[in-house]
Structure 1
Amino acid sequence: MNQQDELARDIRAVDGGHSLGAAELAERLAERGYSRPRVVETITALRALPMGAVVRTPNGLVFQRFHSYWGLTGDPNEFPTQDITLPATVLHLPEETP
């Protein structure tokens, strides 16, 4: 089951009769853990992410932040923040749990 199927299942579970307004439906879906992905659009915002943050660039590369540099999955090199192609989707923040 993909994420879209899971979302459809949860919509049916919380509003199978189509009786909820948009605000209440959104609230119930948020309670089930759904949210829009966070997108970083500026170098300043990228630098503000904490150590351990993981982002995916528009070309599909996945980077993790370490101290003052970023590591590319499967690549031993260090990348400065300005080398990350934006906008980037935040996949993980260290204070979040899966």
Structure 2
Amino acid sequence: MERRPTLTPQQATELTVQLYGVTMTEISTLPSYIDQNFLIVDTEGTKYVLKIMNSEGSKNATKLEVQTFALSFLRQHGVPAQTALPTTTGKLLSMEEIDAFTDNIGL
């Protein structure tokens, strides 16, 4: 059963600072069907989307990695595509346990 994440903007802010070291000036929610997305604006005005995957979708890490690498490949070859920002530890995805559920997080 898929469970939609329900992070507060404060929790999303804390995760963004912890995982990416991004200092934000703004955070707002974005629409999503089964995941949870936030628009993040940093102190330089750069905009990011923080995507919190649902608990069921987070179970297939290989599929998520392939999707992430495919987007990076497209962008490297001149196709406009979103790309993942590595965490402060260099990972493109981070698996975090939140409220006893495990969710994948990407920026």
Note whether the superposition's TM-score is higher than 0.5: no
TM-score by length of 1: 0.26
**Greater radius of gyration (CA):** 1
As a proportion of its length, which structure holds more strand? 2
TM-score by length of 2: 0.25
